[in-house]
Structure 1
Amino acid sequence: MPPSIAVIAPGAMGSAIAARLVEHGCKVLTSLEGRSRATQARAAASGMSAANDSEIVNADIILSIVPPGEAVALAEQLATTINRNRKKPVVVDCNAVNVETIRRIQDVVLSSGARLVDAAIIGLPPKPGTKGPAFYVSGEAATDIAVLGQLGLDVRVIDGPIGAASALKMSYAGINKGLTGLGAAMVLAATRAGAADALRDELALSLPHVQARLANALPDMLPKAYRWVAEMREIAGFLGEDHPAAQIYEGFAALFEHIAADVQGEGADAAQLVAFAESCKPN
């Protein structure tokens, strides 16, 4: 019999993972208290079942998939309820947080008697017919969720403590999303100076792989920019406040904050990024 699983919250990634688990015969619980109609509809479409806090902590496995700025608060909320519960689940923190943050979460979760797995999700939300995303896990309890590998998730165990999976996520996202941030900053600057077409043409000649990447990455980033702000700050924290490169990621946090505000406002910068991306695609 498949384990009972709770996924918090039913965002784009959480609902897609839930749908994959439901396809493999799992009952997937989630919390819908205070959630928008769109979120409730997404949860229903994914086959998730609404549950209260007591029902959530009675699940065998709880997957925490929230924006990084909410990860500690969710761990504290879960721990408060788990403390009063006889059953102790495995809490899997799948959030883009740095090593220091996941260790804070570890202290909170372990104090409730629950077990914690550090997880890093790398890749896009799962779609029918695909294997991904990769689900890297670390910590003493990592083998306790091996069953997820039989339920449609691509689980990859890292031989390391709590913090190893988060370190991988920070390093990978620092490169992957950092390149998108760098491209966005330079495209906006080139556009402002009237050099966007020249930049596009030179990239096509000398760095065609970069041009192809920006054509997809820039428009894809726009609706996600608000979520990347806290992640960039987590990466800065991962590097350490005394590391000179930490300032780069604080800058990226400010850049994505600006882009997110622009997307919600006049959209001038967003339009320039989309225009550049479209101009990079073959006619």
Structure 2
Amino acid sequence: MQVTDAKKPTVALLGAGNMGSAVGHALTQGGAQVFTSLEGRSAASAKRAQEAGMRDASLDELATCDFILSVVPPAVAVETARRLAPALERASRKSVYVDCNAINPDTVRTVAQVLDPSGTPFVDGAIIGLPAAPKFYLSGPHAPDAQPLGEAGLVIHVLDGPIGAASALKMSYAGITKGLTAIGSAMSLAAMRNGAGDALFAELTESQPALAAWLSRNVPRMPPKAYRWVAEMEEIAQFIGEEFAEHRVYEGAAGLYARLAKDRDATDALERFFAERDK
């Protein structure tokens, strides 16, 4: 199968989850040819990829694309780069590899080191926003090389910073938003267990209406994603550093999300609690 076309940019998308599929759809709508590897992936992933207009390809074929976007769970970002590295070394032309994963700057530098022997131009990337409207922040010396993705349907912001700057932005932003979701969930559950749930939300609504509205929107959307946020919270804790006591806040958030990923009673309680606020 040929994966190059002089008229259209070719993009290899590593990861066909909710975000990856949304990105793939945006790129195909923008005129790019998008390829992914479905080897070992679930039927649901294959269906999402097909609906997004992505085509299945081998690793060697992916390595010939103009751009490679890695959009995988944080825990497998390095492993994904290692799996593709041999194909990149064999490739006669060099793709621009953009790591878009929610990983800390040290981890992203590890990814860059894995790919360095192949001579692949590497870009540190961060996705901020929901799958329907993601924004891409890019950093590192090769970040400008990825700007053509903006002409292919993505919202691109190039940061004036080294490899690690985009990941630092992602860690900081997610630490605030997903950290706040964790705090709101933890304290709402604690209040409900002790008979103060309604009183808590009534007070938040009166004295912190913007916060009450934010929690009402975001906490109910969290349970299906809790399992994916565990590794992200661990990355944020590493980003802060063990020498700072506040890293334990995110270790605790990781533990909370790990529990909520399995504790259906707790997530049902949260969903009911916040659904009642909209009545």
- Aligning the two structures, in what range does the TM-score lie when normalised by the shorter sequence? over 0.9
* Residue deviations 1:221-277 (CA, integer Å, cap 9, x gap): 100000000000000000011111101100000000000011xxxx11011100111
For 2:4, the equivalent position in structure 1 comes to: none
For 2:165, the equivalent position in structure 1 comes to: 164
Shift of residue 207 of structure 1?
Answer: 0.7
Distance 1:103 1:65 in 2: 16
Distance 2:245 2:86 in 1: 38
* Residue deviations 1:192-235 (CA, integer Å, cap 9, x gap): 00111111111110011111111111111100000000000000
Given the alignment of the two structures, is residue 80 of structure 1 paired with residue 86 of structure 2, yes or no?
A: yes
Shift of residue 26 of structure 1?
Answer: 1.1
Given the alignment of the two structures, is residue 270 of structure 1 paired with residue 267 of structure 2, yes or no?
A: yes
Shift of residue 167 of structure 1?
Answer: 0.3
For 2:106, the equivalent position in structure 1 comes to: 100
For 2:36, the equivalent position in structure 1 comes to: 30
Distance 1:66 1:78 in 2: 13
For 1:62, the equivalent position in structure 2 comes to: 68
Distance 1:90 1:110 in 2: 12
For 1:113, the equivalent position in structure 2 comes to: 119
Give the AA of the match of 1:243.
F
Q: Report 1:1-283 matches (<5 A).
A: 1-126=7-132, 132-262=133-263, 267-281=264-278, 283=279
Distance 2:166 2:117 in 1: 21
Shift of residue 84 of structure 1?
Answer: 2.0
Distance 1:123 1:145 in 2: 19
SS in 2 for 1:7: strand
Identity %: 50
TM-score, with normalisation over the residues of structure 2? 0.96
Shift of residue 2 of structure 1?
Answer: 2.5
Shift of residue 280 of structure 1?
Answer: 1.7
Distance 1:182 1:124 in 2: 20
Distance 1:151 1:101 in 2: 28
SS in 2 for 1:241: coil
Superposed CA RMSD in Å reads: 0.8
SS in 1 for 2:9: coil
Distance 1:108 1:249 in 2: 27
Aligned length: 273
Shift of residue 83 of structure 1?
Answer: 1.4
Distance 1:271 1:23 in 2: 37
Distance 2:216 2:181 in 1: 10
Check whether the contact 1:211–1:280 (CA below 8 A) recurs between aligned residues.
no
Structure 1 portions without partners, runs of 5+: 127-131
* Residue deviations 1:50-109 (CA, integer Å, cap 9, x gap): 001111101110000001001000011111221122222111000000011011111111
Structure 2 portions without partners, runs of 5+: 1-6
Check whether the contact 1:215–1:276 (CA below 8 A) recurs between aligned residues.
no
TM-score, with normalisation over the residues of structure 1? 0.95
Distance 2:77 2:255 in 1: 21
Distance 1:24 1:255 in 2: 39
Check whether the contact 1:90–1:114 (CA below 8 A) recurs between aligned residues.
yes
Distance 1:278 1:173 in 2: 24
Distance 2:150 2:22 in 1: 16
